[in-house]
Structure 1
Amino acid sequence: MTTTDQLSFPRQHAVTQRFTLGAPRAFAVSPDGVRVAFLRSSGGTDRVNRLWVLDLAARGGPSERIAADPAALLGGAPEHLSAQERARRERTREGSAGIVGYAVDAAAESAVFALSGRLFTASLTQPLVRELDAPGPVIDPRLSPDGSRIAYVTRGALRVAEADGSGDREIASPEKDEVAYGVAEFVAAEEMERTRGFWWSPESDRLLVARVDTAKVRRWWISDPAHPDQPPASVPYPAAGTPIADVTLFLMGLAGERTEVVWDRARFPYLARVHWSRSGAPLLLVQSRDQKHHRYLAVNTASGETRLVHEDEDPRWLELHDGVPAWAPDGRLVRIADEGGARVLVVGDRALTGGQLHVRSVLDIDVRDILVSASAGLEAEDPGTGEVHVYRVNELGVRRVSEGPGLHTAVRGGQATVLRTAGPGPEGPAVTVLREGRPPVEVVSYAQEPVLTARFRLVEAGERRIPAAVLLPTDYDASQGKLPVLLDPYGFPHAQRAVASHHAHLTSQWFADQGFAVIRPDGRGTPGRSPEWEKSIKDEMAAVILEDQVAALQALAEDFPLDLGRVAVRGWSGGGFLAALAVLRRPDVFHAAVVGAPVTDLRLYDSHYQERYLGDPNENPEVYARNSLITDEGLSLAAEPARPMMIIHGLADDNVVVAHSLRLSTALLEAGRPHEVLPLTGATHMTPQEEIAENLLLLQLDFLKRSLGLA
């Protein structure tokens, strides 16, 4: 790693994209365990990713080489991204450049990727990279398992070419402007973590292809007020309670012949997962719109008919998990289920884990065992607060692969396991290749070392034992007395803040070093503890998450130097909602809020997320009314005195549109409540621009000090 001591933390945090640049990522391991492909830029401030190969069987020992370098391939020319590619990157929160994704064949001997909308292939066994002629802009190219063909999407059409670029042909063409083949619709990419829309057969002779029709989805218009000469962009956005995309699935031959895959799409409109391997027929997971009912379906590849393999129901909702459903090599169904108050790994009809583990995802499946990531379950002897580990699970038991506290994940191929560890130490995330009977091999990171060290304590607060991280100023001494408090939570599903990872707390430490005690509670609704903990927010999201933030704050004040007369809260997206909620409904506890990209009228957010927790607003309008911030009922719950807010929002945000903040500002203005609005021209939900990212921290600090009387 390299260090740049002269940079301030806000500047370093911005130019390194939160210390992610230069770190290796996106690993693919060959099934014989001798090659590891990955992406990495050349330094901690370099946004351009190159494709690398780690040869574990090289003469003289493991060695790395560059398999594809965007600078050489583009001849120094700048990248040009299509609107579709920019939208894809926004869904995956991808802020880097160069090669941001790639796909390999089954043997991991070749890779294919798009660069500036052009199509490239690279050998992973020898120095050879070439551009193929393809009508662009190319999106999401993928090699067939045998490496003989490439499929990709351009302008809503799915095309297939031979691996040398010959025979390029269109096998699925959109029938109208609102139709696209081979892509993931908005809610699949944003909420289901399904970012692709086509899948090769194991025999490389046909594909499963999604057809997305957004004709009935309402259009929203995202404009750039700073450039009134430019027309607004039309975005099909399926807000809660409104029509969603019509997604169908086809089996397609290489000449374009097609067979529709049939299931009850009226009852199960969401195509959540697709799995196709040599271990069984194509496998689908489809969801009811309320997400209380899942069906696992096997596809007859001759007729397109489906048969029921398994179904799950839950009176609140069912979660989706990475890596499942899938077939085990012996043909049994692998899934993750909520059973007996625990989240367990199930193979066939048998749960292979119990209350000791809270299983989070399946990482790999082979004949020996199943590799999973999991946190400690409620019955665990060692709770391992804020930790996620990698385990090998089979009929004989469970064995932990990762060591030491931290957040661990892995990718496996054959006898090689690539283990990534983000631990509590200041050295930052590390990547190690583990092979049985051989010394571990480190994959070098070029990420910068932060100019500060996060000194956090992980604790459990109050009667509910709410996980929380607490950070005090680096130079704090007990003689200084109590400190003004800054809550820095997210508080919503699918994200934790009280984790045993150093870099996750860097921004909070910077705020602490400005004179605050920073606390980051993970109350009910946040993941990693138990199904009941996560699902207790059903229909009462606002009340439950706010209650736990207050409870954690008050409990922690008994053990830490917290001045409860000066308490602020900051958050982004769901955290922005929580920050605004805190000062509106509990101004007796919270005295100022930084409200970033907040969801304020919950009816304006997308169907798959919002209806999971609050149901259909057409059937349960009162649930949305009391949970939203700006409905009549929501505002009636606001209390006095009024507290200052800084509302921040990117005008180009197509996920949480700026209408949320504008409506909040209007409601506050009508109520005579003090607030500031900071519009970010050209910024999306992830605000990747360096200048914006840097100055946002400084402006928030200024606001917090002014509002709490610290300036």
Structure 2
Amino acid sequence: MKKYFILSVLLAGLTTSLTAQDRQITLEEIWNGAFSTEGMDVLHSMKNGKQYSILNMDRQSKVVSVDKYDYNTLEKVETIVSTADIEDIRYFTSYTFSDDESRVLLATDVEPVYRHSKLGTYYMYDIQRKKTQKISNNKIQEPTFSPDGNKVAFVYKNNIYIKDLVSGETEQITSDGEKNKIINGVTDWVYEEEFAFVRAFEWNADGTDIAYIKFDESEVPEFSMDIYGNELYPVQQEFKYPKAGENNAKVSLFVYNLEKGNTKQVQLENAYYIPRIKWTSDADILSAQVLNRHQNDLELVFYNTKDASTKVVLNEKDEAYIDITDNLTFLHDNSFIWTSEKDGYNHIYHYGKDGKLIRQVTEGPWEVTDYYGYDAKTGRIFYQSVENGSINRDVYAIRLNGRGKERLSSQEGTNSATFSADFSYFINAYSSVSVPPRYTLNNARNGKEIKEIVDNDALLQKLANYNLPEKQFSTIHVNGYDLNMWMIKPADFDPNKKYPLFMFQYSGPGSQQVANRWAGANDYWYQMLAEQGYIVACVDGRGTGFKGADFKKMTYKELGKYEVEDQIEAARQLGKEPYIDAERIGIWGWSYGGFMSSNCILKGNDVFKMAIAVAPVTNWRFYDTIYTERYMRTPQENASGYDDNSPINHVEKLKGAYLLVHGTADDNVHVQNTMRMVEALVQANKQFDWAIYPDKNHGIYGGNTRLHLYTKMTNFIKENL
């Protein structure tokens, strides 16, 4: 086991007495927000590039406002809109400017539909006239300004509407929308969850056309969940959910012309999926990304509204799968910037408008992890990468010609950037395992820090009262690979004692849990467990991200094989350390991690004494098409891949203590997974513990729910490890 650096969660410069460090972390503190951090909410760079806006709320007066600040001075310039000045709106939770920033959409009474989608009551606020206008009397989805700011398109009950803000009239442009049958302009459940977008319509640059995707869910199998609520009888929630190997929604692409009032279908030959649409710099040219069912053949198609012609300008293929991103930027000449893993690592490419490669802009054995944009004035691209180690993130600039690369962030850890509209400034959000989130204003030309905006020194001062154990980063050589690992030992660690080991992992394709960033709520829980005499560790095994495509795609068609082997072998190796009790090793995970922890206690029953699985997939046949088939193909094509690595098929191997947890209203990983696992365990006559949380979704939260869950898990660990 090779250690390459150790970072403490306490700054060396903080001086506190020993008696002041006697406090112990409690679950109540963790889940009541005692260790929450300050940030910047709904940051928007103004079009002039010199100012930015933030959503603020005065907790005493409960006044919500959008305030404008100067980049150079960081001083507040003006209040753009405030609920103190509006009779119609008591509060709002988000805001969106029109292109010319003369108007702003305010979201109120927002309620979630699924993970990303929401319904809300929206108002347009005219900044100069200081007047509000309600977009619709109904709760609507995805209201979006036209380029001139005079219209708003939105979706209501699966149909698209356009509100004319000048005349006040509303036009309905689709009429066939129907729940669980036809959706226009917003995505279905599986697109929202796995392709990570909701709004499926786009204005062109002139505001003359709207492109939109239609989803025909008629043949998609329906899933239902009982919602128990507080009434005498439960109600049933029904929605279309395509499980692996089943029918997906049939998708088609249309363009509606506002002047003519007509709609034309875009003819796409290979469009099993349409995961992205985007208008190019030419208002007459629409781009669409189309994907086959196996998700390993991606086409970028240009559609010309003038002659209704289509052209495939780029085609990428992969032996495994292709990840969909938002990293597509069209330049003024309609050439475009694109990211791809085609050389084995995710990098930036520049293509001509005809789809011919101009050049690969970035290259090397490291990954581009985020794309921030292109500055036409300086010819520079701004991006984030792991060039400084796969557990770190840095902000870089490079010229479009691939020269002049410059690292703009200077501190080792996790850096991310929000650039001003003219790319002259960026706000750098930085944290590391020892430094809580810190926001600074930086010069985009050279990355130099200009001013600090937000720090979390108050949190550090609070944490100085606790004797917090360290999180130590290292690598561990497992199954021929150096895997990233972190470990938390008790603050009073004695190398001559033996400690129980509690492992955490997620392990899903392309994921990362071993990262040099500030603590989340779970980290405080791990530190609490360490205070109570446990060693906690996490290993990112094969299949996780940011170490190249081959490493990530190694688990293709075999989810739960190599990742499980790595966790079992890592546990074996750690059990050989003189300070770890090999007879007391446990593991836990949530979602994919619950799938993993279940497999580990079954396939590694000679290594793990206990396991906790929260909201686990227990058989990939129960999960959705897009995610599962991306990594496994269909059950019809790969039956053994599904069956050999599904925990539900290995229940007879259970020896240790096993806790199974699920929410009954989990629309993502259905409680069916746990119910079928329970039945299999019962029929195998295996004893286990389980907990069901009524009406809780995949996150299992609300009120005291998280506190209750983590209390249950903590007690289970103490009783069985």
TM range (shorter): 0.7 to 0.9
Select which of 573, 579, 585 maps to 2:591. Answer: 573
Query: Residues 53 and 66 of structure 1 are in contact (CA less than 8 Å); yes or no, is this contact kept in structure 2?
Result: yes
Deviation at 1:197, TM superposition (A): 1.2
- Give the Cα–Cα distance (whole angstroms) in 1 for the partners of residues 255 and 598 of structure 2: 48
Query: Structure 1 residue 652 and structure 2 residue 660: aligned?
Result: no
Matching residue's letter, 2:450:
P
Deviation at 1:436, TM superposition (A): 4.9
Deviates more, 1:489-498 or 1:353-362: 353-362
Paired residues for 1:321-470 under 5 Å: 321=325, 323-348=326-351, 349=357, 350-367=359-376, 368-376=379-387, 382=388, 384-394=389-399, 395=401, 396-412=403-419, 413-436=421-444, 440-444=450-454, 449=459, 451=463, 455-462=470-477, 463-470=480-487
Query: Residues 251 and 271 of structure 2 are in contact (CA less than 8 Å); yes or no, is this contact kept in structure 1?
Result: no
- Give the Cα–Cα distance (whole angstroms) in 1 for the partners of residues 102 and 426 of structure 2: 18
- Give the Cα–Cα distance (whole angstroms) in 2 for the partners of residues 275 and 660 of structure 1: 37
Query: Residues 221 and 241 of structure 2 are in contact (CA less than 8 Å); yes or no, is this contact kept in structure 1?
Result: yes
- Give the Cα–Cα distance (whole angstroms) in 2 for the partners of residues 608 and 219 of structure 1: 16
Matching residue's letter, 1:404:
Q
Residues 306-326 of structure 1, C-alpha deviations (whole Å, 9 max, x = no match): 2101001111111122x3233
Task: Quickly say closer, same or farther: Cα 1:6–1:506, change in 2 above 3 A.
Answer: closer
Task: Quickly say closer, same or farther: Cα 1:143–1:431, change in 2 above 3 A.
Answer: farther
Residue matched to 2:302: 298
- Give the Cα–Cα distance (whole angstroms) in 1 for the partners of residues 428 and 525 of structure 2: 22
Query: Residues 597 and 650 of structure 1 are in contact (CA less than 8 Å); yes or no, is this contact kept in structure 2?
Result: yes
Residues 578-599 of structure 1, C-alpha deviations (whole Å, 9 max, x = no match): 1111111111111111110000
- Give the Cα–Cα distance (whole angstroms) in 2 for the partners of residues 54 and 416 of structure 1: 17
- Give the Cα–Cα distance (whole angstroms) in 2 for the partners of residues 245 and 606 of structure 1: 12
Residue matched to 2:625: 607
Matching residue's letter, 1:269:
Y
Query: Structure 1 residue 250 and structure 2 residue 254: aligned?
Result: yes
- Give the Cα–Cα distance (whole angstroms) in 2 for the partners of residues 148 and 496 of structure 1: 44
Deviation at 1:16, TM superposition (A): 3.4
Residues 51-77 of structure 1, C-alpha deviations (whole Å, 9 max, x = no match): 53332169x763166545679869897
* Structure 1 stretches lacking a partner, 5+ long: 80-97, 377-381
Residue matched to 2:103: 110
Deviation at 1:287, TM superposition (A): 1.0
- Give the Cα–Cα distance (whole angstroms) in 1 for the partners of residues 229 and 63 of structure 2: 31
Query: Residues 600 and 628 of structure 1 are in contact (CA less than 8 Å); yes or no, is this contact kept in structure 2?
Result: yes
- Give the Cα–Cα distance (whole angstroms) in 1 for the partners of residues 51 and 222 of structure 2: 46
Task: Quickly say closer, same or farther: Cα 1:456–1:652, change in 2 above 3 A.
Answer: same
Q: Which structure: larger Rg?
A: 2
Residues 449-487 of structure 1, C-alpha deviations (whole Å, 9 max, x = no match): 3756562111111141101111112333435x1211111
Task: Quickly say closer, same or farther: Cα 1:579–1:285, change in 2 above 3 A.
Answer: same
Task: Quickly say closer, same or farther: Cα 1:445–1:135, change in 2 above 3 A.
Answer: farther
Deviation at 1:445, TM superposition (A): 6.8
Task: Quickly say closer, same or farther: Cα 1:556–1:73, change in 2 above 3 A.
Answer: farther
Query: Residues 222 and 240 of structure 2 are in contact (CA less than 8 Å); yes or no, is this contact kept in structure 1?
Result: yes
Task: Quickly say closer, same or farther: Cα 1:133–1:441, change in 2 above 3 A.
Answer: same
Paired residues for 1:172-191 under 5 Å: 172-177=174-179, 178-191=181-194
* Structure 2 stretches lacking a partner, 5+ long: 1-21, 110-119, 352-356
SS at match of 1:223: strand
Deviation at 1:418, TM superposition (A): 3.7
Select which of 189, 210, 214 maps to 2:213. Answer: 210
Task: Quickly say closer, same or farther: Cα 1:572–1:273, change in 2 above 3 A.
Answer: same
- Give the Cα–Cα distance (whole angstroms) in 2 for the partners of residues 357 and 66 of structure 1: 43
Matching residue's letter, 1:104:
F
Deviation at 1:106, TM superposition (A): 2.9
Select which of 531, 555, 577 maps to 1:537. Answer: 555
Select which of 504, 507, 512 maps to 1:488. Answer: 504
Query: Structure 1 residue 562 and structure 2 residue 580: aligned?
Result: yes
Task: Quickly say closer, same or farther: Cα 1:32–1:277, change in 2 above 3 A.
Answer: farther
- Give the Cα–Cα distance (whole angstroms) in 1 for the partners of residues 597 and 54 of structure 2: 38
Paired residues for 1:138-217 under 5 Å: 138-163=140-165, 166-177=168-179, 178-217=181-220
Residue matched to 1:53: 67
Query: Residues 425 and 501 of structure 1 are in contact (CA less than 8 Å); yes or no, is this contact kept in structure 2?
Result: yes
CA RMSD of aligned residues (A): 3.0
Residue matched to 2:136: 134
- Give the Cα–Cα distance (whole angstroms) in 1 for the partners of residues 85 and 666 of structure 2: 33
Matching residue's letter, 2:427:
L
- Give the Cα–Cα distance (whole angstroms) in 1 for the partners of residues 528 and 149 of structure 2: 48
Deviates more, 1:127-136 or 1:327-336: 127-136
Matching residue's letter, 1:33:
G
Matching residue's letter, 1:482:
K
Residues 589-622 of structure 1, C-alpha deviations (whole Å, 9 max, x = no match): 1111111000011111010000011111122222
Residue matched to 1:675: 688
Query: Residues 408 and 419 of structure 1 are in contact (CA less than 8 Å); yes or no, is this contact kept in structure 2?
Result: no
TM-score by length of 1: 0.86
- Give the Cα–Cα distance (whole angstroms) in 2 for the partners of residues 363 and 121 of structure 1: 28
SS at match of 1:232: strand
- Give the Cα–Cα distance (whole angstroms) in 2 for the partners of residues 49 and 707 of structure 1: 50
Paired residues for 1:117-128 under 5 Å: 117-122=120-125, 128=130
- Give the Cα–Cα distance (whole angstroms) in 1 for the partners of residues 63 and 677 of structure 2: 39
